[in-house]
Amino acid sequence: MASLTHRRIVIAGGGTSGWMTAAALGRFLDESWQVTLVESDEIGTIGVGEATIPMVRNFNAGLGIDEAAFMAATQGSYKLGIAFEGWGGFDESYMHGFGLVGRGLGLIPFHHYWLRARAEGLAGPLGDYVLNAVAGYAGRFAHVQRAEGSPLPPLPYAYHFDATLYARFLRQFAQGRGVVRREGRIVEVRRDPHSGDVSALTLADGSEVAGDLFVDCSGFRSLLLGEALGVGYVDWSEWLRCDRAVAVPCAKVDPLVPYTRSIAQRAGWRWRIPLQHRTGNGHVFCSAEMSEDEATAILLGGLDGEALADPRAIAFKAGRRETFWERNVVAIGLASGFIEPLESTSIHLVQTAISRLLDFLPSGPVADADRDSFNRLAVFEIERIRDFVILHYAANGRVGEPFWDRLRTMDLPEPLAQRIAVFRATGRIVREHDELFDVPGWVQVMIGQGIVPERWHPLADQASSADLKGFMDTLAASYLRDAERMPTHADHIARFCPAGELHA
C-alpha cells in the first residue's frame, strides 16, 4: 500500500499543470516535504492555455501573487466573458458573461422576469441585463467595488495570459519555495516489484528520481497514469467531435477587447484571445469533416493582424482517464483528460485537482476510501463541465451544415438531456452539488442558442406590466451608465499593469 513515509512528492512534467502544482505545493507544504519536478526541454509543452475563468484569481491569491505583477509578467489582459459568434444562428451572437444575469430579486432568478417581459415585448436581449456583457461589448474594464449590501453585481473577471510566461512565472515562484527542478527526459517509470506502486523515474542520463507520491503532469501522453499503470481512457468523441486544433499568434489590434471570442466555423470554431503583446488565435475542428490544410487556411484568412509564427497543429481526443488517482499516482492537467477550450476550463480543472490533492494529502498509508472519494469528485466535476460544453454544440442554430446538423440531433448524456428538457418546460436550472457552472452560465448559453422556455416561474406574474417595464429599463440603463464610467480596457491595463517590452 502506498505510503508517504518520506514525504517525497515527484511531479512529472513542467507545463502549466506541473508548475501550478509545484507552486501550490511549494507554498503550502513545509520543509519536511521534498518536492521535485522533472521536465524535458526536448519535449516542450502545449502552452496554448491562454483564457481562464474567474476562479483562477483564487489560485493566484492563495499563493499570495500580486495581480499587477502577474499581469505584467504574463502580458495579461482581463476577461469578462466569451462572445459566441455564429453559434445560435449564422448571424447571431451572444456573450456568456461571468457573474449575475440581471440582479438579485428575492425568491426567483432574474431570468424568469426577463422571460415574461420578453414575451410581452417589454425587454431587450438578455445581454442588456448582464453587466459583464454590457461592459465587455463596450470595451470597458475596471475593478468594480460595490458597497456592502448593494443589490448591484460586482464585475467578476478572469484573465487572458501567455501560458508559457505563466509557467515561467510559477517556476520562479516554486523554485523560490524549495521545489527542486530536474531537467531530463523520463525514459522509464520504475515500479516496486512487491506493491506495484511507482517507485522512481529513470531519466535519459541514467539518473533516478525516487518518490512516495507521483503527480503525473506529463500531458496527453499520461506517462505514469496511462502508460505505466495502464489506466484506460473514457472517450467522449461521440459528443465532442472536434479532435484537432491549429494555433497561431498574430500582431495585436485595437481595440483590446476584454473578452474571448469564439467564432463558429463550418466544422468547428475559432478562438481569438487578446493579450497585451499579441493576439492568440486557434481553430478547433473535426478532422473527419475538414483537412488540416483547410482548417489552417481558414485560421490564417481570419487573422486580424500579421501572423507572428508558423501555425502549430495539435491533435487531441475529448475524454478522461477512468480514474485520476491510481496507486500512488495522481494525474493533473492533460494527463488526466481533456475538454476542448470552448469554455476555458482546463486550467480551472488543474486548479481544482491541486486543491483536491491538498485536501486528500495522506499523512501515512493511502486509504482506498480516500482515493475513491478523490476519483468520484473529480469525475463528477469534469462530466458536468463536459455537459456544459456539449450544450453549445447540441443547441446550435447552423441549419444546413452537415457537421452542425448532426450535432443537433445526437443523443445526449442523460443529465444534460434532462436539464434541457426541464429548462424548456419551466425555465428552471437546478444546480447540482458544487458543479462549476451556475444558473447564470446555463441560462445565458441556453437562451443565447435559442432554447427559450415555454413558461416562467409563476411569481414573475405578480408584477404589473408597467412595473416590469420600469424595472427592466432602469436596470439596462444603470448597467450602460456603469460601463460608460469605466475606463477602456486598454487604458485600465496601461495604468494598472503594463507589461512593457518582452525579453525572452
Q: Are 74 and 413 in contact (CB under 8 A)?
A: no
**Residues listed for the chain:** 504
Considering the complex, what minimum distance in angstroms separates the CB of residue 327 from ligand FAD? 19
Is the Cβ of residue 220 or residue 380 nearer to ligand FAD in the bound state?
A: 220
- Amino acid in the structure at residue 2: A
Q: Is 444 in the site for ligand FAD (CB under 6 A)?
A: no
Closest CA to 83 of 156, 20, 137, 139: 137
Does 60 participate in binding ligand FAD (rule CB under 6 A)? no
Is 79 an annotated catalytic residue? yes
**Secondary structure element (H or E) that encloses residue 272, with its range:** strand 268-274
Q: Report if residue 455 touches ligand FAD, rule: CB under 6 A.
A: no
Segment 284-313, which members bind ligand FAD (CB under 6 A)?
none
Neighbouring CB atoms inside 10 A of 326's CB total: 23
Work out whether 218 is an interface residue with ligand FAD (CB under 6 A).
yes
Residue closer to ligand FAD (CB basis): 47 or 397: 47
Nearest distance, CB of residue 221 and ligand FAD, angstroms: 6
User: CA Rg, the chain, in Å?
Assistant: 23
Least Cβ distance, residue 176 to ligand FAD (angstroms): 19
In a 3-state reduction of DSSP, which class is residue 489? helix
C-alpha distances (whole Å) from 194 to each of 2, 6, 229, 426 are: 11, 18, 15, 57
Question: Which cell is 455 given?
Answer: 413558461
Which range binds ligand FAD by CB under 6 A, 139-147, 219-227, 393-401, 493-501? 219-227
Distance of CA 269 to the CA centre of its chain: 16
Show the binding pattern over residues 146-165: x = contacts ligand FAD (CB under 6 A), - = does not. Answer: -----------------x--
282 lies in the binding site for ligand FAD (CB under 6 A): yes
- Helix (H) or strand (E) run with residue 24 in it: helix 16-28
User: Which C-beta is closer to ligand FAD: that of 46 or that of 267?
Assistant: 46
Sign of CA dihedral 5, 6, 7, 10: negative
Closest to ligand FAD by CB, 17 vs 396, is 17
| Residue 49 near ligand FAD by CB under 6 A | yes
Q: How far is the CB of 35 from ligand FAD (least distance, A)?
A: 16
Query: Does the footprint of ligand FAD cover residue 427 (CB under 6 A)?
Result: no
Strand partners of residue 200: 190, 210
Site for ligand FAD contains 16 (CB under 6 A): yes
Tell me the C-alpha distance between 353 and 336, whole Å. Answer: 10
Q: Is 217 in the site for ligand FAD (CB under 6 A)?
A: yes
The reply on whether position 236 binds ligand FAD by CB under 6 A is: no
Tell me the window of 9-17, 136-144, 293-301, 450-458 that interacts with ligand FAD (CB under 6 A). 9-17
Among 25, 35, 51, 385, binds ligand FAD (CB under 6 A): 51
76 interacts with ligand FAD by CB under 6 A: no
Q: Which of 465, 419, 407 is nearest to 443 (CA)?
A: 419
The answer to whether 457 and 427 have CB atoms below 8 angstroms apart is yes
Q: What does the alpha-carbon distance between residue 308 and residue 327 come to, in Å, rounded to a whole number?
A: 44
Alpha helices per DSSP H over 212-310: 292-301
Rounded to whole angstroms, how far apart are CA atoms 276 and 39? 28
Among 198, 224, 231, 245, binds ligand FAD (CB under 6 A): 245
* Cα angle, residue 502 at apex, residues 17 and 50 outer, rounded to 5°: 35
Q: Which residue has the cell 481595440?
A: 255
- Residue 310 identity: D
Cell 485520476 maps to which residue? 324
Q: Does 377 bind ligand FAD (CB under 6 A)?
A: no
Give the binding range for ligand FAD (CB under 6 A) out of 8-16, 395-403, 441-449, 489-497: 8-16
Position 453 contacts ligand FAD (CB under 6 A): no
By CB under 6 A, tell whether 15 contacts ligand FAD: yes
Counting contacts by CB under 6 A, is residue 52 touching ligand FAD? yes
Q: Which stretch binds ligand FAD (CB under 6 A): 40-48, 63-71, 395-403, 458-466?
A: 40-48
Taking the chain, what is the end-to-end CA distance rounded to the nearest angstrom? 45
In this structure, what C-alpha cell is assigned to residue 407? 450535432
Characterize 96-132 residue by residue with b for buried, 16 or more Cβ atoms within 10 angstroms of its Cβ, and e for exposed.
bbbbbbbbebeeebbbbbbbbbbeeebbeebbbbbbb
Confirm or reject binding of residue 38 to ligand FAD (CB under 6 A).
yes
What number of chain residues touch ligand FAD (CB under 6 A)? Answer: 39
By the 8 A CB rule, do 7 and 43 touch?
no
Which of 79, 252, 317, 469 is flagged as catalytic?
A: 79
Using the rule CB under 6 A, which residue among 27, 39, 165, 386 binds ligand FAD?
39
Report the residue from 127, 153, 268, 341 that binds ligand FAD according to the rule CB under 6 A.
341
Give yes or no for residue 352 binding ligand FAD (CB under 6 A): no
Give the residues lining the site for ligand FAD (CB under 6 A).
13-18, 38-40, 43-52, 163, 185-186, 217-219, 221, 223, 245, 247, 282, 314, 316, 333-335, 341, 344, 346-347
List, by residue number, the catalytic residues: 79
